[in-house]
Amino acid sequence: MKRALICGVSGQDGAYLARLLLDKGYAVYGSSRDAQMSSFNNLVRLGIRDRINLESVAISDFRSVLQVLMRIQPDEIYNLAGQSSVGLSFQQPVETLESISIGTLNFLEAIRFASRPIRFYNAGSSECFGDTEGRAADESMPFRPRSPYAVAKSAAFWEVANYREAYGLYACSGILFNHESPLRPERFVTKKIVAAACRIAGGSKEKLHLGNMSIRRDWGWAPEYVEAMWLMLQQDKPEDYVIATGESHSLEEFVESAFSAVHLNWRDHVVLDSELLRPADLATGRGNPAKARTRMGWQARHRMHDVVRLMAEAERNLAAPL
């Protein structure tokens, strides 16, 4: 039985990945900063909380990371930990940089120190590309990060590449474009939109406040994206992959789709709020997943409108399958 350690198991991707690996027969270990105090609501919601071996790990502390690796002896490590919000990174740039770049470096160094054939997946981000001016980003496009979050993710990406080349580690990064699900917390604009639309449809008199609605993003379905993470660690050779749908939609289209799903006109319920504008928001994000399709056989099955529909269905009925 393979052993996998998922760092950041309490988040959206961590929970779906844990379910996937359990279904594949893995012994799954999940870490958080304080496993005794964490609620692990997403694991509970997926019905897998009692099937995960939970560990407390401070990823910014090398000794803590090394100790858990030596104790668990994992075959695969999935590093999904660290501050995950672009917007919050402007308010907490130091915490963002340390939790992502230092945490990743500690895992890589611990794997090197352990001298075991551990395969390492690092959660990269499409935010690293910056503004691609409408072009679909592939693995050869240079990084031009425009947020503290993107800077941190870029640093972690090059750490992984360096350890792969310099020390021969099986280490790779998935450069994932936006991917959503009912497990998203409401600080993410997609969940904020869907949740507000459902509340308004249920009788709430609130207005939904949003910033720049002209931005365009490549939105996919999170349970499919964790399949790509697993596939990356099953290849003969470690490589980095862009994971995306290949389609781009505006935030206005996302809003319209969400309100249409509950039979409302979004224009009656949305307020543009200049205070929600970010210092350096990206105009367009779109990925080219051709390499993932040809090398791993992975491609997105759901598009933006599917994602909105599935999120709205789950929001209206929390007992619905995820």
pLDDT at residue number 319 = 38
- Residues 216 and 290: their CA atoms lie apart, in Å, by 20
pLDDT at residue number 142 = 96
Predicted confidence band of residue 289 (pLDDT cuts 50, 70, 90): very high
Amino acid at 48: I
Q: CA-CA distances (angstroms) from residue 225 to 182, 232, 234?
A: 14, 11, 15
CA atoms within 13 A on the CB side of 206: 14
131-165 tens-digit pLDDT: 888 899 999 999 999 999 999 999 999 999 999 99
The CA angle 26-29-35, to the nearest 5 degrees, is: 155
Where do the H-state alpha helices sit in 102-171? 103-114, 148-167
Write down the domain spans for the chain: 3-179+221-243, 181-217+248-284+302-316
Q: Using DSSP, state whether 224 is helix, strand or coil.
A: helix
CB burial string 286-304: b at 16+ within 10 A, e below: bbbbebbeeebebbbebbb
* Ordered strands of the 241-243 beta sheet: 53-56, 27-32, 3-7, 76-79, 119-125, 170-176, 241-243
Average pLDDT, whole number, for the chain?
Answer: 93
Residue 117 has pLDDT above 50, yes or no: yes
Residue bearing the bigger pLDDT, 285 or 4: 4
Q: What is the DSSP letter of 252?
A: H
Which residues are designated catalytic?
A: 125, 127, 149
Residue bearing the bigger pLDDT, 281 or 219: 219
Is the pTM higher than 0.85? The answer reads: yes
76-105 tens-digit pLDDT: 999 999 887 787 888 899 999 999 999 999
**At a CB cut-off of 8 Å and minimum separation 6, what does 114 contact?**
66, 69, 70
pLDDT at residue number 320 = 44
- Residues 171 and 166: their CA atoms lie apart, in Å, by 11
The class (CATH top level) of 3-179+221-243 is alpha beta
Pick the CATH number of 181-217+248-284+302-316 from 3.40.50.300, 3.90.1580.10, 3.90.25.10, 3.40.50.620: 3.90.25.10
Residue 36 has pLDDT above 70, yes or no: no
